[in-house]
Chain A
Amino acid sequence: MRSRKLSITMAAILAAGAILSGCSQGSSSGGAEAPGGADTKAAEDGGGSGESSGSGIELELFISKPEVVEVMEDIAGKFCEENPGVNIEVVSSDDGRTVVQTRAASNKLPDIMNTFPAEDFYKNMFKEGYFEEITDQEFLSKVNAETMEMSDCDGSFYAVPMSLSTYGIYANMDVLNANGITKTPDTWEELIADLETLKANGVTGFLMPDKDVGNVAQRFERTAGIINNDSYSEFKKVADGEMEAKDSPTLKTWCDYNEQLLQYTTDDHMGMDYDIAAAEFSNGNAGFMLSGTWMLSTVQKNNPDAKVELFAFPHPRGEATKVPVNIDTSFSISSTCADKELGLKFLEFMTRPDIAQMYCDVDGNVSTIEGVEYNIPEHANMKAAVDQGNIFLTAVNFWPNGLREEIRDGCQTFLSDCDRESFFESCQEAIEVIYGDNQ
Chain B
Amino acid sequence: MKEKKGTSQKARRDKSKERTFFLFTVPGFLLYSFFFIVPVLMGIYYSITDWDGISKSYNFIGLGNYVKIFHTNQFLDALFFTLKYTALLIVFTIVLGIVIAMLLNRKIKGRGFFRTVYFIPAVLSSLTVGLIFNKICYYMIPVIGNALHIQALSQNPLADKNLAMWTILFVNLWQGLCIPTLLFLAGLQSVPVDLYDGAALDGASSWDIFRYITLPFILPVVSVVFVLTLKSGLMVFDYIKAMTDGGPGSATRSVAMLIYKHGFTQNKYAFSIAESIVMGILVAAISAAQIYFTDKKKAV
Contacts and interface: CB of A to CB of B under 8 A. Distances in A.
Contact of B249 (A15, A34, A410, A429): A410
Interface stretch (A5-13, A46-54, A315-323, A331-339): A5-13
B279 A19 contact: yes
B54 A413 contact: no
Contact of A409 (B142, B250, B259, B288): B250
A28 B277 CA distance: 12
Contact of A29 (B42, B55, B234): B42
A101 B138 contact: no
Given A28-B46, A213-B246, A271 B267 contact: no
A23 B280 contact: yes
A185 interface: no
A28 B39 contact: yes
Chain B residues touching A, range: 35 or more
Interface stretch (B152-160, B170-178, B211-219): B152-160
B200 interface: no
Given A16-B280, A23-B280, A24-B273, A416 B248 contact: yes
A129 B54 CA distance: 10
Interface stretch (A249-257, A355-363, A400-408): A400-408
A22 B52 CA distance: 19
B67 interface: no
Contacts of A429: 72
Contacts of B42: 24, 28-29, 31-32
B272 A271 contact: no
Secondary structure dominating the interface of B: helix
A214 B261 CA distance: 12
Contacts of B250: 409, 413
Interface string B127-156: 000000010011000100000000000011
B36 interface: yes
Q: Which of B71, B159, B279, B295 has the most CB of A within 10 A?
A: B159
Contact of A213 (B39, B45, B247, B266): B247
A98 B54 CA distance: 12
Interface in A206-264: 210-214
13 contacts: A12-B287, A12-B291, A17-B280, A19-B231, A20-B43, A24-B46, A27-B53, A28-B273, A121-B54, A124-B54, A273-B134, A405-B266, A416-B161
Interface of A: 4, 8-9, 11-32, 34-36, 38-39, 97-98, 101, 104-105, 121, 124-125, 128-130, 210-214, 267-268, 270-273, 276, 401-402, 405-406, 409-410, 412-413, 416, 429, 433-434, 437
